[in-house]
Chain A
């Protein structure tokens, strides 16, 4: 019993401090300008029933890890295929993946294609952020600021130059985004890591405010791009297919280049800085330059993604640079596995596609009687509400991952040690 006491007390405490927010509702009394409170257990129950699939999932994961501790099924399962064979088949799979993904442009529905184009954009962003957060160990909180920066380089350039299509905007945005990252990194990369986090957050916020207030950037409406500058139907590809193919190709290119870089002396220097900055400096790693390189490269990649977003949507707006965007991208990198490019891809796919498909789920179930029969009604109801909860869940995922699996889904044991001890 004594073993459970702290947990029981903790749960009771949490129940107490969340009590008013969950079970009571504010009811403004406009006549007297005062506030009343009413007892509405329905809201609290709704909250828990909406989250029931998550509790179910958590229970399954807990059962999995508990049974693994007991019976070591993960190791036994992995032992079935020799490590060498596994590595070879994964390598083979990577090459088979490219034609498979690209052919998706032809057999996916228009809505799925849109979702996957966005997934690919988030993949590029996650790959870029992974360079700073994962490989170099610099926390960047305002990454969406650079994303928006790239989009506005495209938008403003397109407004003022007669001929500025997306493919011309890309190198421009890349270079300018990198320059912006360099200038921003210059003052704060000399300092403790967490300053950078706050400065980039401040930059993103201030930049967004600037864009919303300056007359030339079109305030909250943003800038409408001329159709000739955005993705257009080309050859046998439609507009949506075009966007998907180009973004997917860029994802492949980015993975290839970043992985090459990761294994190069530059990548080694980044890892050294992440593991121990002082030790790295003492063996001659130019710490500040390497940090600046990582930071401006990742800013440049975000700016590139911004151009793609603009070319895909046909407009650019300050909504691209909102703080939840930055948090979402960060959550992707952390969930997938800090410092692992494939982890970033996985994180982006999970955290973008899952909420999107959850949002589509009610209509899918409605149209499909088979599914209607298969899913019990309470779960059907809960699944249809779950997409509202995704930011809440991202927050919880970030905390839980840091506590129990700081290396991320695809992280190594080495990374775990690094994260848990300094």
Chain B
């Protein structure tokens, strides 16, 4: 292949790759929904906004570092991701502490409404204080990832796509290990099963719940940075769309079920990529909805969910 050749790709495989990459991102966000749901039984509607905060925190971090000590791509990018995780985790924690903790014993409507309030507030907070338009991700930091690619049989996969899939796999594995094998993970599962009982055997329930939010938010931040690089833009409303899709993925896989969220996300990502390929980009949101409706109609507990329609 000559240096300036356009990447040769067989279209359908490229589309599928794109779908899997999108699915990987949705999976990271969907995990946040599904963990909170599994533990608290509430939909954390503001999770998409935490993801969006991660995007912006990363760009702010990169900007600050490039102003302070110049553009060292690898260093700044890595620290940028860490900053994004810290900020998102802090926002996730603050949401839980301010808007949800007091409503834990309340009617289902109360925390959900509160979450919608937080989501609206954060969106317009960024809208008013940062930017009313989309902001371009600093291309200097993402170009080497989007331009370089590896050839697999018939498809060119960019470094970024590889990095997204790789990061997602590593984080999933870490999360799996965490939930199944560490003390905190066991405490988390205990709280998910029965808060009162877990409290009685000495598990610090409040801390565990707060930690669930922190963990989910940090994962969402990683997803946020990757989406910002993949799409090249970030905006105040980015979290809301991705959040809706990730939520659909979580339901598709069976909400409250961690592997299910991953499976649902990949299926959703691929079906979206295919719809975009066949009908145009305007239709991808319609796919999400159709998938959501079909799941609820045919298998409301999702693909891997165990629980049948929950009581209210």
Chain A residues with a Cβ under 8 A of chain B: 10, 13-14, 16-18, 20-22, 24, 26-29, 32-38, 43-44, 47, 133, 137, 139, 141, 187-188, 190-195, 197-199, 201-203, 205-206, 209-210, 212-213, 277-278, 323-324, 327, 330, 334, 338, 388-389, 391-392, 394-400, 402-403, 406, 418-422
Report the stretch among B120-128, B169-177, B265-273 that lies at the interface.
B120-128
User: Are B114 and A402 closer than 8 Å at their CB atoms?
Assistant: yes
In the complex, A139 Cα to B116 Cα: how many Å? 11
Number of residues from B at the complex interface, CB < 8 A: 76
Alpha-carbon gap, A190 to B301, bound state (A)? 12
Chain A residue numbers with a CB within 8 Å of B141 are 34
Q: How far is the CA of A327 from the CA of B112 in the complex (A)?
A: 13
Say how far A377's CB is from chain B's closest CB, in angstroms. Answer: 22
CB pairs A–B below 8 angstroms (22 shown)? A34-B66, A34-B139, A190-B300, A191-B309, A192-B108, A194-B42, A194-B108, A197-B43, A198-B43, A199-B296, A206-B289, A213-B286, A389-B128, A395-B116, A395-B122, A400-B117, A402-B113, A402-B117, A419-B107, A420-B105, A420-B110, A422-B108
Q: Please give me the 4 A-B residue pairs with the lowest Cβ-Cβ distance, nearest first.
A: A398-B117, A395-B121, A395-B120, A206-B289
Give chain A nearest CB distance to B278 CB in angstroms: 13
Q: Which residues of A contact B64 (CB under 8 A)?
A: 20, 24, 37
Residues of B within 8 A of A (CB): 42-43, 56-57, 59-60, 62-64, 66-67, 71, 87, 90-91, 94, 97-99, 102-103, 105-114, 116-131, 135-136, 138-141, 143, 240, 244, 247-248, 251, 280, 282-283, 285-286, 288-290, 292-293, 296-297, 300, 309-312
Give the residue of A13, A22, A212, A327 whose beta carbon is less than 8 angstroms from that of B90. A13
Inter-chain contacts of B283 with A (CB < 8 A): 209, 213
B117 CB contacts on chain A under 8 angstroms? 394-400, 402
| Inter-chain contacts of A418 with B (CB < 8 A) | 107
- Are A28 and B309 in contact (CB-based, < 8 A)? no
In the complex with contacts A37-B60, A206-B288, A420-B106 CB distance below 8 A: yes
State the Cβ distance, A15 to closest chain B Cβ, in Å.
Answer: 12
User: Which B residue's beta carbon lies closest to that of A399?
Assistant: B117
Interface centre among A33, A212, A327, A389 (most CB of B within 10 A): A33
Measured between alpha carbons, how far is A203 from B119 in the docked complex, in Å? 19
Known: A34-B71, A141-B116, A396-B121. A192 touches B109 (CB 8 A): no
Query: Quick check: A199 and B119 within 8 Å, CB to CB?
Result: no
- B-side contacts of A195, CB under 8 Å: 251, 296, 300
A389→B121 CA distance, assembly (Å): 10
Q: Is the CB of A388 within 8 A of B309?
A: no
* Chain B residue at minimum C-beta to C-beta distance from A202: B289
> Cβ of B99 and Cβ of A399 under 8 Å apart?
yes
Task: State the CA gap A199–B311 with chains docked (Å).
Answer: 18
Q: Nearest-CB distance from A269 to chain B (Å)?
A: 15
Q: How far is the CA of A194 from the CA of B300 in the complex (A)?
A: 13
A345 to chain B, nearest CB (A): 20
Residues of A within 8 A of B290 (CB): 206
A74 vs B248: C-alpha distance when bound (angstroms): 47
Residue contact A403 to B102, C-beta cutoff 8 Å: yes
The one of A27, A37, A194, A419 that contacts B43, using a Cβ cutoff of 8 Å:
A194
Task: Enumerate chain B residues within 8 angstroms of A187, measured Cβ to Cβ.
Answer: 293, 296-297
A419–B297 alpha-carbon span in the complex (Å): 29
Min CB gap B90→A, angstroms: 5
For the complex, give the distance between the alpha carbons of A391 and B124 in Å: 7
Q: A17-B94, A391-B124 are in contact. Are A212 and B282 (CB under 8 A)?
A: yes
* Shortest CB distance A403–B (Å): 6
Q: Determine whether the beta carbon of A22 is less than 8 Å from that of B98.
A: no
Interface centre among A47, A192, A194 (most CB of B within 10 A): A194
Q: Are B116 and A21 in contact (CB under 8 A)?
A: no
The answer on a CB contact under 8 Å between A199 and B293 is yes
Quick check: A202 and B288 within 8 Å, CB to CB?
yes
Residues B105 and A399 in contact, CB atoms below 8 Å apart: no
**How many angstroms from the CA of A327 to the CA of B118 in the assembled complex?**
12
Rounded to whole angstroms, the CA-CA distance of A38 and B285 in the bound complex is: 37
Nearest to A208 among chain B residues (CB) is: B285
- Closest approach, in angstroms, between the C-beta of B300 and any C-beta of chain A? 5
User: A306 CB to closest chain B CB, in angstroms?
Assistant: 20
